[in-house]
Structure 1
């Protein structure tokens, strides 16, 4: 009874400890099953368990599925490389470098477990090619053995996980979305009562929305219903972000009592746990009554549309959600291109050394590098995690040497080899559950298993096994150097690139005549980019409000640009007004160089619109205020715009 407090005091995450013990047990079971099936490398099945493990069932099912798909694709590519090259090292190495680079590119563009599947396809091909380079005539049998080995690990992880793992509680994510919607509605009611809501509260809501968006990938895993739920919540998040952006630049004197009362009733109903369907009529009436204030009406209409989409997957409804607004996610094209060049380049360099020297252990070095240079490229700070991976693999290599030379010589059968390896595997559960060592500790198990072939007779002398262990540990060391020197990447660098992408797209909007036709697409993508900007600013340790306020300003200016583009499409627009709009667009496009001139152009447009009775004046003033307040964000990101 007193063990849990003692473990907590020692730094263990007791909730995670059950998961790590379950995972290590499943790895031992997979090792036994693979050995019973007569597979050549049963330890690969145990490694697959560690790679597939997830703490909740829905995440486990989806990860296992995409790992299986990635393995199938990668194995097929590996076989094709061997058949086309005839097993010659040079063409094999060139083809493998190209394939790993392409998979790194795809993995950095995609998200969640789909991204994981793309990365798996990269090093699955390497697993087939590099371990079988001397047997091109048996490639189909060897590839089938590799595939069965991995699938055995996947199925074992699935069975153990489905029997013992808890189901992910989706109510937590949906409840958080509801609470944030209530807070945004309260912000609206405060504004409509004649009081300007606090900017700090809006920043806090935006930061929590960014965290919620990050949690949606695991929430949407495992079933079509979960995926629809995640998509509808993402639509709600997008509507809430749009509302927060408008609130930041809304006029201080706006007072619309009937609308305020309806929104207050909607917030009260949500807080009392009312079904979303009961809140819809309140939002519909509020939208009707706000017709004289187009920006306010637009914000309420978006909230109403998001609520309609939630009805299909909440409150026990059986009909699917109807997505009225696009959900478009940010794609890091710059990071993907850099990851591809980095992965392909290091594979090409190490592969050349391997081909020229004929170093036998070089295949293991290349295999380990192909895993790490792809899998960890999607992390916000890959160099930081690689230091922990290096420590974990070094410990795993030492454990493998201890097992090989101190324990295995006592074995009299291959079954005993497998059983003797299991305590070393189970030992990994402790560092995997400790707060200081959980990052990188799984690599202890990976290196241990990679270096432990439970087959008699035992092969190699002490010097050769030590040399092989050093080759395995060299992979994270060289990958660490690559992440530090080839397109160095961390949260701050990703933040700068993302800010540049947002401003570059703003420039493109200013010069694109068809911008008004893709307003919904642009708005949805910028919503998600703003959330990523907020999250990256937190991870980079930026001063609170700096990046998010800049992102909000880009959004506000972008909305003004879309309204101006829509005006230019009007057939009866006066020539003088057309000229003024085009001038303003040109100056906004140059806002990274001369923000003051863009502010002046927006103010002049607002005055002109007031004179001719155009409702766009309020949007122009909001954009002007946002740009003036965040001029430094625009100018400091100018270099990133040019680079993009």
Structure 2
């Protein structure tokens, strides 16, 4: 029941909602019940929260598309070239905006684009009927939305909130076990990189699931801010854990054996503490509360224990002391951030909590060139098909334009748009053949609505089944959407097989043109496009070095993971380039996080410039050279960045020694020194992507 049973349940609900929408549209005598059926197939998802979220944005997208159709039809009446130009620019702009904003807003933007074509093109030759066509189309879409939402939420509902709760439990347990393994040095570099790559998907997927769950569960809605905060704190803990592992790896390759021996007891203690969090005998709330208490106790006694251990190393070389101080600072920061993550996780047990007042922003970032290419790709496709339609006066050319617009919209965020377009074309071809057979031999022998449902149910279920399988999604979408558009029953069925064949050819032709443009003119895997996204990823360090500190960490973490997710979608099957992008993400997070900590600590040390006049200039030089290195990585800039960091370290050491009478200021300067030393160790790491570049 947890496997194939869910598939059959989804098929049952999808077919039921489609037939229900068709029946209601027929009872209300709307001219095109097939539109309501198409809406169902576009909306239906296994989880009710997904359906409600898509329905919410489809309402807005349909309304905007309807208004655009009325405006274009009214302004460019009897001017086909200008109408087609305006329609092309509108669809291209909507699809580009969908790529720019993605997540839930993606659906609203793409609907605003191709709904304009769906409403306007069939009535472009009958401008007096445009307004009524827009109203009836809105009514048909609304019926499809209501039927999808009702069936999904009321018939054996699978709630997104339930899946999110399961994700919360498994993620906390698995990350605790993973952190225990890393601290216990039981994870190899290859396994670590693979795990951190998977964490990117988890972080981005969690943000989407949080939005879905807020639509179908009020309990999740009142916890929405805490869930956003939880995801942000999870990113912080992951970044700090990776930094800690990288420092340990670098110390193992150097001459830091005394430091490793001195620090090992602390790592073993924390590893054991985290390993105990997977006790199956405890509930989530008890487990999180217990972990928070133990972590709080460790955090309270850790500074004193570290100072006592450090005294035994004071006769060691200054470089070893720097390694020890940096390792202990990173360990302490990881304890603090994992404690925050645990406390927020434990707070979810309360309906109302003070943490719900916090505001955490998840920033989605898309390269401007990718947005521009999406606009050009869509515009070229729609304009080419539209120009052919106008030049040839092809009766079915309008449907070719609609098919091209739908294909461009639905494939806009696909990792492989040509493949999806080709699959949709194949599905539409099959839909045309099946639709011809149903129109000629099925409908004439059907008497009454029940028999119509019996005849259509297997065909609709077949398309929905293809849609659910990852490798055949395009076939299913093409079959379901275009079977309904080509051969879906209307209130008054017109038996015109020749029109159906022409429309089928037009739909497939529009998709094939889209596939051709995606493959030849604007391929997704263009090397320069990948390099532009990588450069944006590296430029996150420019953001942390020069941006305003308010909300900087949240913006940095979320947008960095979001861009890496985009690269993973493109480079999943290209292991060398994917590994290079992952290495850049990890070093960007390491250095960026430390740079933010460095700037925050520097704000509380205004006295440093008075004691050492060159202090502010040295920190500014570090920030400037790091920004230049990540934006344009090469040997010269790497040398400059290392020199700047070394100079800042020397000044910080001098300041620390002069502050021996003020323990608070001395400890703050010690933290600053640790961040600088970690940045230096990251720049010197021979496995870092600087050297590969």
Report the TM-score when normalising by structure 1: 0.85
Specify the alignment match of 2:507 in structure 1: 472
Shifted more, 595-604 versus 479-488: the winner is 595-604
Matching of residues 277-292 of structure 1 within 5 Å: 277-291=289-303
Q: Does residue 244 of the first structure (1) align with residue 241 of the second (2)?
A: yes
Q: Structure 2 CA distance, aligned partners of 1:112 and 1:39?
A: 32
Two-structure CA RMSD over aligned residues (Å): 3.5
Asked if the contact 1:184/1:244 (under 8 Å) is kept, the reply is no
Corresponding residue to 1:626 among 677, 682, 685: 682
Q: Secondary structure at the match of 2:517?
A: helix
Matching of residues 509-548 of structure 1 within 5 Å: 509-510=544-545, 512=546, 514-516=547-549, 519-525=552-558, 528-529=561-562, 532=565, 535-536=568-569, 539-543=572-576, 545-548=579-582
Specify the alignment match of 2:122 in structure 1: 131
Corresponding residue to 1:178 among 167, 172, 190: 172
**Which runs of 5 or more structure 2 residues have no equivalent in the other structure?**
252-259, 307-327, 657-668
Distance 1:123 1:274, change over 3 A: closer
1:578-608 deviation digits (Å, cap 9, x = unpaired): 4443444443233212254134443454344
Q: Secondary structure at the match of 1:575?
A: coil
Q: Structure 1 CA distance, aligned partners of 2:158 and 2:551?
A: 43
Distance 1:43 1:530, change over 3 A: closer
Asked if the contact 2:432/2:486 (under 8 Å) is kept, the reply is yes
Corresponding residue to 1:581 among 619, 626, 638: 619
Distance 1:545 1:134, change over 3 A: closer
Shifted more, 127-136 versus 319-328: the winner is 319-328
Report the TM-score when normalising by structure 2: 0.79
Shift of 1:346: 2.5
Q: Structure 2 CA distance, aligned partners of 1:285 and 1:176?
A: 25
Specify the alignment match of 2:156 in structure 1: 164
Shift of 1:52: 0.9
Q: Secondary structure at the match of 2:411?
A: helix
Q: Structure 1 CA distance, aligned partners of 2:527 and 2:357?
A: 34
Shift of 1:87: 5.7
Distance 1:564 1:454, change over 3 A: closer
Q: Does residue 20 of the first structure (1) align with residue 11 of the second (2)?
A: yes
Q: Structure 1 CA distance, aligned partners of 2:440 and 2:64?
A: 37
Q: Structure 2 CA distance, aligned partners of 1:196 and 1:420?
A: 59
Q: Structure 2 CA distance, aligned partners of 1:555 and 1:134?
A: 57
Corresponding residue to 2:138 among 119, 138, 147: 147
Q: Does residue 210 of the first structure (1) align with residue 200 of the second (2)?
A: yes
Shift of 1:75: 1.5
Q: Does residue 367 of the first structure (1) align with residue 397 of the second (2)?
A: no
Q: Secondary structure at the match of 1:378?
A: coil
Q: Structure 1 CA distance, aligned partners of 2:358 and 2:193?
A: 27
Distance 1:538 1:133, change over 3 A: closer
Shift of 1:108: 1.4
**Which runs of 5 or more structure 1 residues have no equivalent in the other structure?**
638-644
Distance 1:481 1:571, change over 3 A: farther
Q: Structure 2 CA distance, aligned partners of 1:301 and 1:285?
A: 11
Specify the alignment match of 2:386 in structure 1: 351
Shift of 1:129: 1.0
Asked if the contact 2:180/2:270 (under 8 Å) is kept, the reply is no
Specify the alignment match of 2:31 in structure 1: 40
Distance 1:17 1:219, change over 3 A: farther
Specify the alignment match of 1:50 in structure 2: 41
Specify the alignment match of 1:384 in structure 2: 419
Shift of 1:320: 6.8
Shifted more, 120-129 versus 266-275: the winner is 266-275
Q: Structure 1 CA distance, aligned partners of 2:178 and 2:570?
A: 22
Distance 1:257 1:109, change over 3 A: same
Specify the alignment match of 2:494 in structure 1: 458
Q: Does residue 610 of the first structure (1) align with residue 653 of the second (2)?
A: yes
Q: Structure 2 CA distance, aligned partners of 1:530 and 1:628?
A: 25
Shift of 1:143: 0.9
Specify the alignment match of 2:367 in structure 1: 333
